[in-house]
Chain A
Amino acid sequence: MMDEIPDPSQDPSGSHAAQSLGNTLRWAFELDESPAIAGATFLTREIIPGARDPFDAIAGGTATLRQLEDLKNAYKLLRTTGATAPERSLAARLYAATIAAGIVRHGAMITRQAPAALARAFEELSADPEMPERVRDLGSLAADALGRMKS
């Protein structure tokens, strides 16, 4: 298995190799120092390359249903594997926001969570002062839509 690690030193004086090494060193240093939002932003960009941040990606209205499902699964795992409590807490709220976006933007349910638990999560999202306004609005709209679906 060790032999499968690409050897980065094959062309040490070549500019491409030096650039790659520099890039690896740079992101390692930055990741080592990153705040809570950095993890969620990284995941978002892995799934939607070019996304500015998680909030834009979820509430912007351009994410496909498939991308929202991918984001939901990524944030779901980050809820438990996040490096810090703030990161895990943010991941939990983003997880709820992706489900809300699925309902509001695509009319689709991308979770098997119980409606009561969802309703509670959307209410909390809509009242969360740490979330940008567009995400809180998404929470409100999703809560309304869920209410209509239940009635």
Chain B
Amino acid sequence: MGVGLAMAKLSNPSMTQTNWDLIRDAASGSATARSSLDAVMKRAWPAVYAYIRATGRRSDEATELTQAFICDVLLARRLLEKADQARGRFRTLLIGAVRNYLADVHRRRTAQARAPRAGILPIDASDGGSGALVGEAASGQDSTSPERAFNARYVAGMIRSASERLQRELEADGESDSWEIFRLRVLQMSFQGVAPGYDEIAPRLGLERGQCAAKLLMAKRRFAAILMDELRATMLDPAELRSEVADLLALLTEG
């Protein structure tokens, strides 16, 4: 089973949140380290894959590189153990690691290609030495697109995780209808571009239209709080929330 498939099959709700405690636990060798590592990987895999794919690599190559990154960097090099909390944000730690990993891969492949004819050459400062996105340059991709792809997938994962938690909480509170309204009016609208109106939803749920709107407000607020919780959990200083949201918005919406 490939890592991607294995990641897709991980669905334990308790393992969907990435935060520094989880990262510390994953690196600790404790009894729960394996499940914590799985949870971190579940969050990281799609974003890492999206980044590599956006550098212009084919899907099979991107899958292979993503698996290799997980094995070589997250596991073998124990990136998590080295995660210096002073760096603050898990997202920036991960994206920097992927960028450096691709540069290393390119450097190794270039060195192998050169070695038979030219012997051992010093690393060109304009190439791997800078840690630049060499793969992107080679593929002619926009240099900002891998980061954008990474961030989009990272936020998407967070939104999905927050949605799943919202569903569990609302259903546990006997608010299944609130979840249904949220799913139709927010998630479906946001990601499929269409949503049924209250005229259709209200009779189906046995509610008044105005009640549906009020229940949607309640669900949206709860979702917002969960999503911000998830985001705060990836940062050491919760006061940085505003700047992290601003950074992500800029990265997601820049042309």
Question: Do the beta carbons of B152 and A18 come within 8 Å of each other?
Answer: yes
Question: Do the beta carbons of B50 and A13 come within 8 Å of each other?
Answer: yes
A101: min CB distance to chain B, Å: 14
B229: min CB distance to chain A, Å: 9
B5: min CB distance to chain A, Å: 16
Is residue B68 within 8 Å, beta carbon to beta carbon, of the partner chain? no
Task: Name the contact of B192 in the complex, choosing from A6, A12, A13, A26 (C-beta under 8 A).
Answer: A6
- A7 — which chain B residues lie within 8 A by C-beta? 156, 160, 191
- B20 — which chain A residues lie within 8 A by C-beta? none
Is residue A111 within 8 Å, beta carbon to beta carbon, of the partner chain? no
B227: min CB distance to chain A, Å: 5
- A70 — which chain B residues lie within 8 A by C-beta? 198, 208-210, 213
Is residue A39 within 8 Å, beta carbon to beta carbon, of the partner chain? yes
B62: min CB distance to chain A, Å: 12
Of A1, A5, A6, A28, most B-chain CB atoms within 10 Å: A28
Is residue B42 within 8 Å, beta carbon to beta carbon, of the partner chain? no
Question: Do the beta carbons of A28 and B149 come within 8 Å of each other?
Answer: no
Task: Name the contact of A12 in the complex, choosing from B156, B225, B241 (C-beta under 8 A).
Answer: B156
Question: Do the beta carbons of A9 and B157 come within 8 Å of each other?
Answer: yes
Question: Do the beta carbons of A42 and B217 come within 8 Å of each other?
Answer: yes
Task: Name the contact of B210 in the complex, choosing from A13, A28, A77 (C-beta under 8 A).
Answer: A77
Is residue B89 within 8 Å, beta carbon to beta carbon, of the partner chain? no
Question: Do the beta carbons of B213 and A6 come within 8 Å of each other?
Answer: no
Question: Do the beta carbons of B156 and A21 come within 8 Å of each other?
Answer: yes
Question: Do the beta carbons of B160 and A46 come within 8 Å of each other?
Answer: no
- A20 — which chain B residues lie within 8 A by C-beta? 190-191
Is residue A71 within 8 Å, beta carbon to beta carbon, of the partner chain? yes
Question: Do the beta carbons of A25 and B248 come within 8 Å of each other?
Answer: yes
The total of chain B residues at the interface (CB under 8 A) is 51
Task: Name the contact of B217 in the complex, choosing from A4, A6, A13, A78 (C-beta under 8 A).
Answer: A78
- B209 — which chain A residues lie within 8 A by C-beta? 47, 70, 73
Question: Do the beta carbons of B217 and A39 come within 8 Å of each other?
Answer: yes
Binary CB contact string for chain A from 12 to 39 against chain B (1 if under 8 A, 0 otherwise)? 1100011111111111110110000001
Question: Do the beta carbons of B224 and A13 come within 8 Å of each other?
Answer: no
- B14 — which chain A residues lie within 8 A by C-beta? none
- A32 — which chain B residues lie within 8 A by C-beta? 221, 224-225, 228
Q: Would you list which residues of chain B between 36 and 88 have a CB under 8 Å from chain A? A: 46, 50, 53-54
- B91 — which chain A residues lie within 8 A by C-beta? none
B40: min CB distance to chain A, Å: 17
Instruction: List 25 interface pairs A-B (beta carbons < 8 Å), by A numbering.
Output: A2-B164, A6-B191, A8-B187, A12-B50, A13-B54, A13-B148, A13-B152, A17-B152, A19-B252, A24-B186, A24-B190, A28-B227, A29-B241, A29-B245, A32-B224, A32-B225, A42-B220, A43-B210, A46-B198, A46-B217, A73-B209, A74-B210, A74-B214, A77-B211, A77-B214
Interface residues of B (CB under 8 A from A): 11, 46, 50, 53-54, 145, 148-149, 152-153, 155-157, 159-160, 163-164, 167, 171, 183, 186-188, 190-192, 198, 208-211, 213-218, 220-221, 223-225, 227-228, 241-242, 245, 248-249, 252-253
Given A5-B187, A47-B210, A69-B210: 11 more A-B contacts, CB < 8 Å: A4-B183, A5-B163, A5-B183, A8-B159, A13-B149, A24-B190, A43-B210, A70-B209, A70-B210, A73-B214, A77-B210
